[in-house]
Amino acid sequence: MKTGSTPSKNKHRQRLWLLSMLLILGVFLSLSLGRYSNDPVKVLNVILSKLGLSVPVDPAMVSIIFNVRLPRVLASVMVGAMLSLSGAVYQSVFRNPLVSPDLLGVSSGAAVGASAAILLGMGLATRQIFAFVGGMLAVFITSLVPRLLRNRTNMMLVLSGIIVGGFLSSVLAIMKYLADEQTQLASIVYWQLGSLASILAEDLQAILPVFLGCSTLLLLLSWRINILSFGELEARTLGVNLRQVRSIVIICASLLTASAVSVSGTIGWVGLVIPHLSRLLSGSDNTRSLPTTLLVGAGFMLVIDTIARTLTTVEIPLSILTGFVGAPLYAILLYKQRARLE
């Protein structure tokens, strides 16, 4: 009994290593796949040449790997990690395993923000800021409604999310109605389905600080997040500065979602399904499930985005794929968890 926590800790470390290795392998394979060439050996050669260990054979390949595929692959990894991590954190803080960033209206808020920027003809940097502000505003309103109604139950929060989400989708509809059909409307619709096709290295630079900063902070707070998930009474009697920790955590999670969504558009299911899958792998303790979620989410999005750009000659929007994969996966997970959920 005294050693009870040690073997499972080693197992957890091994699992994280395995997932990291799989992710790196996945990144390499994904870099090898594409319209121009499907040769892993060539990719290996390009990478080695960049490290000064060999001579590049194909200059065009170098450009494709580093300017086209690599930013996109890294973006998919980051976006997947960000959405999954924030979903897991939302679920813990709001004590509801059914909550996802979409359910609290962050995504639809970000969509309204981004669409506004598109309508105003703003550039990508401004669009990111608009998406972020929209997302934060939405989650703020969602959390305000239960407080105003003096009913802070989980159910009220979910209902509040539906209210805010519903309202925002109408706002979005007005924007689409007003948008120029040829240019703006297409951008908005495409944005809403989620895509990383037009990702640039600069976009990565824009979201990287948020990704690193917020993820680090959330992983550092992972044990405190366990305590938040017990509810207000227990957290306070354990001496936790509830408001401080909860605000940091919600702001970080919203920042992650809003940043991810601002470069990729809205992507459904990831933030809901991946945390469930990860808890099944590592247990519910957030000190373990959050790092697991981060890696699994990154890998999941990598696979999805690779399929999106290679399966057919045209790009498949991401939300279509995450829905096709995520929804059945969620059903399977619920079936596996049925005894735990009672």
Partner 1 sequence: MDAILQVRDLGFSYDGSRQIFKAISFDVNAGEIICLVGPNGIGKTTLLNCLAGLWAPLEGSVLLDGKNMAGMPARDIARMIGYVPQTLHPSFDYTVLEYVVTGNAPWLNIFEKPGPEHYQRAEEALEQMAISHLADKPYTRLSTGELQQVSIARAIAQKARLILMDEPTAHLDYGNQLKVLRLIKGLSAKGYAVVLTTHNPDQVLLLDAKTAVIDHQSLFHFGAWQDILTEELLSGMYGTALRLTRVEGVDRMVCIVPGL
Query: Does 156 interact with partner 1 (rule: CB under 8 A)?
Result: no
Q: Which of residues 166-225 bind partner 1 (CB under 8 A)?
A: 220-224
Q: Which residue in the set 37, 49, 126, 226 belongs to the binding site for partner 1 (CB under 8 A)?
A: 226
Interatomic CA distance for residues 286 and 189, integer angstroms: 36
CB of 202 to partner 1, least distance (A): 32
Query: Does 15 interact with partner 1 (rule: CB under 8 A)?
Result: no
CB of 121 to partner 1, least distance (A): 43
Query: Does 231 interact with partner 1 (rule: CB under 8 A)?
Result: yes
Residue pair 218/252 in contact by the 8 Å Cβ criterion = yes
Query: Does 249 interact with partner 1 (rule: CB under 8 A)?
Result: no
Q: What is the size of the binding site for partner 1 (CB under 8 A)?
A: 36
Q: Which residue in the set 36, 230, 324, 330 belongs to the binding site for partner 1 (CB under 8 A)?
A: 230
Q: Rank residues 53 and 338 by Cβ distance to partner 1 and give the closer one.
A: 338
Interatomic CA distance for residues 238 and 228, integer angstroms: 10
CB of 78 to partner 1, least distance (A): 23
> What's the token pair of residue 238?
């354990």
Site string for partner 1, 41-60 (x = CB under 8 A): --------------------
Residue pair 73/271 in contact by the 8 Å Cβ criterion = no
- Phi then psi dihedrals of residue 142, to 5 deg: -60, -40
Interatomic CA distance for residues 273 and 53, integer angstroms: 41
CB of 18 to partner 1, least distance (A): 22
Interatomic CA distance for residues 83 and 196, integer angstroms: 14
Give the chain's end-to-end CA distance (angstroms, integer). Answer: 28
Q: Which of residues 61-100 bind partner 1 (CB under 8 A)?
A: 92, 95-97
Interatomic CA distance for residues 236 and 240, integer angstroms: 5
Interatomic CA distance for residues 137 and 145, integer angstroms: 13
Residue pair 67/201 in contact by the 8 Å Cβ criterion = yes
Mark residue 150 as left, alpha or beta (left: phi above 0; alpha: psi -120 to 50; beta: remaining): left
CB of 150 to partner 1, least distance (A): 12
Which residue blocks in 97-194 are alpha helix, DSSP H?
106-119, 124-148, 154-178, 186-193
Q: Which residue in the set 182, 233, 313, 335 belongs to the binding site for partner 1 (CB under 8 A)?
A: 233
> What's the token pair of residue 30?
């994904």
Site string for partner 1, 278-317 (x = CB under 8 A): -x---xxx-x------------------------------
Crossing angle for the helix pair 106-119 and 242-264, nearest 10 degrees? 50
Q: Rank residues 112 and 235 by Cβ distance to partner 1 and give the closer one.
A: 235
Mark residue 171 as left, alpha or beta (left: phi above 0; alpha: psi -120 to 50; beta: remaining): alpha
Q: Which residue in the set 22, 171, 240, 327 belongs to the binding site for partner 1 (CB under 8 A)?
A: 240
- Phi then psi dihedrals of residue 312, to 5 deg: -125, 175
Q: Which residue in the set 59, 239, 313, 335 belongs to the binding site for partner 1 (CB under 8 A)?
A: 239
CB of 285 to partner 1, least distance (A): 5
CB of 89 to partner 1, least distance (A): 12
Q: Rank residues 35 and 340 by Cβ distance to partner 1 and give the closer one.
A: 340
Which residues sit at the interface with partner 1, rule CB under 8 A? 1-2, 4-5, 92, 95-97, 154, 220-224, 226-227, 229-231, 233-234, 236-242, 244-245, 279, 283-285, 287, 340
